[in-house]
Structure 1
Amino acid sequence: MGIRHLRTLAMIADSGGFSAAAERLFITQSAVSLQMKALEEEWRITLFDRTTRPPVLNRHGWTLVHRARALIDQYDALRASVHAAPSELIGSLRIGVVPSAAANLLPRVLLRLRDVHPGLTIHAESGLSAELMFKVGQGRLDAAVVTAPDRLDIGLATELIRQEELKLFAHDDLVLPDVDDMLAKRPFIRFSGAMGVGRIVNEALHSRNVKVNAILELDSIEAILGMVNLGLGIAILPEHSMARWRDHRLNELSLDPPVRRNLVLVARREYVELPAVGSLLETFRSVAFDEGP
């Protein structure tokens, strides 16, 4: 099995069929078919459902696609590293980042990595913690920055980036002397329970036996802060959420006892020791440290 066959398989998945893959690879459709037949014969497995026209990838085919992409990336990185300086990383990384970290940390992380490792290409996407961890497990992402999960699949490993305190954000007009009174009496803008932070907030409110008057549920920190800034309600968010806001009327209040979340990098166990993943982790840690406790 050659790397060329795996590239063709990945292109079929990306383009949607044999014909489109052939056009993008500048080869004939019959050449694509022959390469896929050779793969199936070597692996002694059927990769496509040929009862439909055009043929489509079956379950075995998609499984091989995910693994093939990882091998292609590693092959390209190995090939490029032959010509790289000893300390320079070459290749590509596919990463996922939860929205809170994408807004506050990711831009500076990408800037530093570009300066230190110009030959390292980062493909980043934003999503929910559970979704990103699933993609890491499937090999569709090399690593992801997520809220630490309660349970971790056996093939994955996590490394701590930082621990963040979740704080109550409120406009001057909605501040009361007692935080619990604020939670009970003021309109509450809930962070989506599908998000890792939202889950922690919901658990904290439940443990305090606090019933909030939730008027909205959103999955964007920027949108929630925009609502809070207008005095439409209060919200519990990671402490660094206000880093880019400069409105003195916005208040950041601690809960008692404090509520915290761990921001971690998750990767497959065999990827944790890769130099590119290690550099990504240390860069996130460095940027988070510069932002302050």
Structure 2
Amino acid sequence: MELRQLEYFLAIAEDLHFTKAARRMHVAQSGLSASIRALEVELGAPLFLRTTRQVELTQAGRALLPEARRALASISSAKDAVAAVQGLLRGTLSVGSLQCLHVVHLPAVLARFHELHPGVEIRMRQSGNADLVEEVRAGRLDLAFVTRQPKIADDLRVSALAGEPLVLACAPGSPFAGRESVALAELTGQSFVDFNPDWGTRDQVDRTLAEAGIDRHVAVEVNDVHSLLDFVAFGLGVALVPQSFALKTDRAHFVGLRGDTPAAETVVVTANTVGAAAGVLLDMVFEARAGRLRAAG
């Protein structure tokens, strides 16, 4: 099995089109097709279902896809590691993050990284927690900043960044607005504003309220922090949010939770083997995080 065969396979699997994949890989379509046929013969199974209208992965192709991605990512990491020994970082650094990463100012850290290592192309995307974790597992992201999940695959490494308590966000006219604290049980029957499922702290809040025996109604679902706080401020529902959200608006009121206060924990997820560029960025992130903690103290 050759590296080029895996690269051709991955290009077709992503485009689901032989002509587009050949154009992307700068190779004649006949050469690309011949390479895939040779790979299928070696593996003893067809990888694609080809018709006049479409291309689909077979069951064998779907099984090979994550392994091919991991293999190519490992080869890329090996090249980066050799370059790093020579004092040079190069290649691509793919980063995923949830919205409003309060524990570290990611744009500033990435800008500093780019200044120090201009030979590395930075790619950045935001998405839901599960999607970002799967992107890391599949080798499409080098690392991702997410809210801690109950279970993450054993082939991934999870490093804690910080945790902060959840608080109640409510409208100025809410009966809760003038309170010093609120018990979770008092939220029974309330309409909620929250993120879409798997987005931000939604899963954490779902688990927290389910464990408290509260069957809640989410009236408004959004995928950005500022919309969530605006809907809360106008009385469309209450929300459980990380304490740092209180810094983002003065139109909503924020009230602490009574008793054993649940916390939202932000973690960074990587493969067990971290590439050179990702390792440098992680060092910068934890250094920046330590600096913020010293400044706050």
TM-score by length of 2: 0.79
1:229/1:250 contact within 8 Å kept? yes
What is residue 274 of structure 1 aligned with on the other side?
275
What is residue 42 of structure 2 aligned with on the other side?
42
What is residue 150 of structure 1 aligned with on the other side?
150
Q: How many residues align?
A: 289
CA distance in 2, matches of 1:209, 1:234: 17
What is residue 261 of structure 1 aligned with on the other side?
264
2:92/2:120 contact within 8 Å kept? yes
Say yes or no: does 1:240 pair with 2:244. Answer: yes
What is residue 220 of structure 2 aligned with on the other side?
216
Cα displacement string for residues 236-270 of structure 1 (whole angstroms, at most 9, x for unaligned residues): 21222344x3x44444332223221221122232x
2:102/2:244 contact within 8 Å kept? no
Of 188, 194, 199, which aligns to 2:203? 199
Code of the aligned partner of 2:43: W
Structure 1 residues without counterparts, runs of 5 or longer: none
CA distance in 2, matches of 1:160, 1:197: 15
Deviation at 1:31, TM superposition (A): 0.9
| Identity of matched residues, % | 27
TM-score by length of 1: 0.80
1:228/1:234 contact within 8 Å kept? yes
1:102/1:126 contact within 8 Å kept? no
Code of the aligned partner of 2:264: R
Of 179, 182, 187, which aligns to 2:181? 179
CA distance in 2, matches of 1:262, 1:103: 10
Code of the aligned partner of 2:49: D
Change (3 A) 1:249 1:50: closer
CA distance in 2, matches of 1:120, 1:49: 37
Deviation at 1:85, TM superposition (A): 7.5
Cα displacement string for residues 22-49 of structure 1 (whole angstroms, at most 9, x for unaligned residues): 2333332211111112222333332122
Change (3 A) 1:155 1:78: closer
CA distance in 2, matches of 1:81, 1:209: 50
CA distance in 1, matches of 2:105, 2:147: 14
> What secondary structure sits across from 1:254 in the alignment?
strand
Q: Please, what is the CA RMSD of the aligned residues? A: 3.4
Change (3 A) 1:187 1:17: closer
2:84/2:276 contact within 8 Å kept? no
Deviation at 1:153, TM superposition (A): 2.1
Cα displacement string for residues 124-144 of structure 1 (whole angstroms, at most 9, x for unaligned residues): 222222222233333333332
Change (3 A) 1:104 1:236: farther
> What secondary structure sits across from 1:281 in the alignment?
helix
Deviation at 1:147, TM superposition (A): 1.5
Code of the aligned partner of 2:286: R
Change (3 A) 1:223 1:262: same
